[in-house]
Amino acid sequence: MTATGIREPSVGTAGRPHRPVRPARVVLHLFLGVVAVGWLFPILWAVLTSLRSYDYTARNGYVSLGGWTLDNYTTAWKTAEFGKHFLNSVYITVPAVLLTLFLASCVAFVIARFSWKLNIVLLGLFTAANLLPQQALLIPLFRLFTQVPLPEWMSDSELLYDSYWGLILVNVAFQCGFCVFVLSNYMKALPHELYEAAMVDGASVWRQYWQVTMPLCRPALAALATLEVTWIYNEFFWATVLMRTGDKFPVTSSLNNLRGEFFTDNNLVSAGSVLVAIPTLVIFFLLQKQFVRGLTLGASKG
Amino acid sequence: MSDLPLIQADRAVPPPAATTSTGGRGRRLRLLSRTDRVVITLMVLVPLLLVVGLVWLPAVATVLLSGTDWDGIGPVGEIDWVGLQNYDNVVNNYPPFGPAVQNNLLWLAALFVVATPFGMFLAVLLDKEIRGSRFYQTALYLPVVLSLALIGFVWQLIYSRDQGLLNAVLGTQTDWYGDSNVNIWAVLFAAGWRHVGYIMLLYLAGLKGVDPSLREAAAVDGSSETSTFFRVVFPVMRPINIIVLVVTVIESLRAFDLVWVINKGRNGLELLSALVTSNVVGEASRIGFGSALATIMLVVSLVFITLYLFTVMREDRR
């Protein structure tokens, strides 16, 4: 998170002309520093609050120091049953991300590899689907999900509604568009000669996809996987409306239930918030490059 | 084999539609084995069915249902067609509609006039090669990895009436989330906080792609940094400007999570998305009426999605 790796601009050999003089630089750094700290502040405040006891802050106010404790975390974990909800998030996020990447890469491969006239229509259908407001599709989807039966071993509601399957499908359908868009652009940039060589060797279309194209797309796939994990983990709306049983909510949507329980205790609210944020923060700090690359690869995503 | 027609030698001149066996296309298709053709079909068909079935058909169904008085009970065959009556009711007999439109527009204005330009401004500053740029960037887009629902919680610690930081510092007693006169502003501040980081990141990526020789040429001509940006860099970035515009519009139309975790979009926080949701999953299941609301959202967003698609596809062909 420091300046390491960033090119040190040496005065005189600057890459760009008209480098401002020193005082301007100082003002710039001051400004950016204040903004950056201001931006981090709400998150740091949540962490700070989560580490203090309710009694202490109730007595001395939140603008004080002291009362350090980790109890809020254990209490929040137990009351809100975070273990269970994290597991629900895993059940939904992992299959949804894998399925999204697989299906999207199939479509993207066909779009990039063959030039049918319908390609542009296909690309438009997928990309636009990702940008539609989800609430505008809620009514028919809600009805549909309550009508589609599932066997009991798949869903104890015996419906697509209130099942992990339903949420996985709806997340895949919505996220496919973004991945198709990014991957097809990426695949179009691969050299044609690869496929010529593959065809000379008699490789089938499937082999050209699976053994030639996919390995070359690893960087894009890694970037998209990182991004999709955070998006689907953060997904709130579909889980809220297409799930009924509180026990089956993924962690982001279970937040809504927690609110009532924690309402009077901000220290618990903050501990809960930090717990929910941890997986995305870990991913972000470990795979920051991938995350940013993913977002800017498409430079889209509404 | 270099002129093998299957390979995209020239994307600008796409071959005629598939399945016809006349002309060049037929020869090309015969190059593919039957298995290959089945594989290609499946590779497109399975994802397509999913997206059409779960996104596009529901979108069409929403528009159709908006012309009916269906209450969700009874067979589809008995649905009565009522024309534009639902729209009339939405606009004239539904008190939350006015505030919701107002709040959606306010949301758009706040992001468009304040958050988006600020994000762009920060991107321009960070585009200069400065020490610690990575730290500043990270701090700014950290909120982007948090869900909007979570952001509602994080900001509650600041906005809460009795335990919040803001009242403690200002010595006030305002219920920032609960008071219907101020809560939309409190929420907009939190939403803008996240939006700035997102726009900064998108715009920074765009700026990095601008040909440096353009700036050099402008500098040689004696143009100042500011006028270089507005006269040279900004116009060149037209595609990314449009993307940023569309992202801002769509985000303000899709806004939902934040108000839903606070009070389900009531008491000052009405939004179109929240109204649709409470008309369907709430106590009253008014399908036709809710669909009219949803159709309004759909139509507005499709205008901007089309603009977006034209922009990215044109870029794509270059």
- Over residues A217-243, the mean pLDDT reads 93
Among residues 182-241 of chain B, which lie with CB inside 8 Å of chain A? 193, 196-197, 201-202, 204-206, 212, 215-216, 219-220, 224-225, 240
ipTM summary value: 0.85
Please give the model's pTM, rounded to 2 decimal places. 0.86
Q: How confident is the model at residue A175 (pLDDT cuts 50, 70, 90)?
A: very high
* DSSP secondary structure letter of residue B231: I
- Are B17 and A116 an interchain contact pair (Cβ–Cβ within 8 Å)? yes
- Are A126 and B51 an interchain contact pair (Cβ–Cβ within 8 Å)? yes
**Could you tell me the two tokens for B190?**
């939190």
Q: How do residues B101-131 score in pLDDT, each as one tens digit?
A: 999 999 999 999 999 999 999 999 998 878 8
Name the residue facing B51 among A173, A283, A291 (closest C-beta): A173
Task: Say if CB A108 and CB A243 are below 8 A apart.
Answer: no
Q: Which residue of B has its CA nearest to A106?
A: B43
- Over residues A255-278, the mean pLDDT reads 79
Which amino acid makes up residue B196?
Answer: V
In DSSP notation, B272-298 reads HHHHHHHHHTSSS--HHHHHHHHHHHH
Q: How do residues A57-72 score in pLDDT, each as one tens digit?
A: 878 877 788 788 898 8
pLDDT exceeds 80 at position A261: no
| CA A127 – CA B156 distance, rounded (Å) | 35
- Are B215 and A16 an interchain contact pair (Cβ–Cβ within 8 Å)? yes
Q: How confident is the model at residue A80 (pLDDT cuts 50, 70, 90)?
A: confident
Among residues 244-273 of chain B, which lie with CB inside 8 Å of chain A? 246-247, 250-251, 253-254, 256-257, 260-261, 272-273
Among residues 3-32 of chain B, which lie with CB inside 8 Å of chain A? 4, 6-9, 11, 14-18, 32
Q: How do residues B281-308 score in pLDDT, each as one tens digit?
A: 765 678 888 999 999 999 999 999 999 8
Interface membership of B58 toward A (CB under 8 Å):
yes
Taking the CA of residue A153 and the nearest CA in chain B, the distance in Å comes to 23
Chain B residues with CB under 8 Å of A279 CB are none
pLDDT exceeds 70 at position A287: yes
pLDDT exceeds 70 at position A208: yes
What's the Cα-to-Cα distance from B148 to each of A150, A236, B286, rounded to whole Å? 32, 8, 28
Q: How confident is the model at residue B96 (pLDDT cuts 50, 70, 90)?
A: very high
**Average pLDDT of chain A?**
85
pLDDT exceeds 60 at position B21: no
Name the residue facing A140 among B62, B216, B274 (closest C-beta): B62
Q: What is the pLDDT of residue B312?
A: 81
Q: How confident is the model at residue B160 (pLDDT cuts 50, 70, 90)?
A: confident
- Are A299 and B276 an interchain contact pair (Cβ–Cβ within 8 Å)? no
- Over residues B197-219, the mean pLDDT reads 88
Taking the CA of residue A219 and the nearest CA in chain B, the distance in Å comes to 17
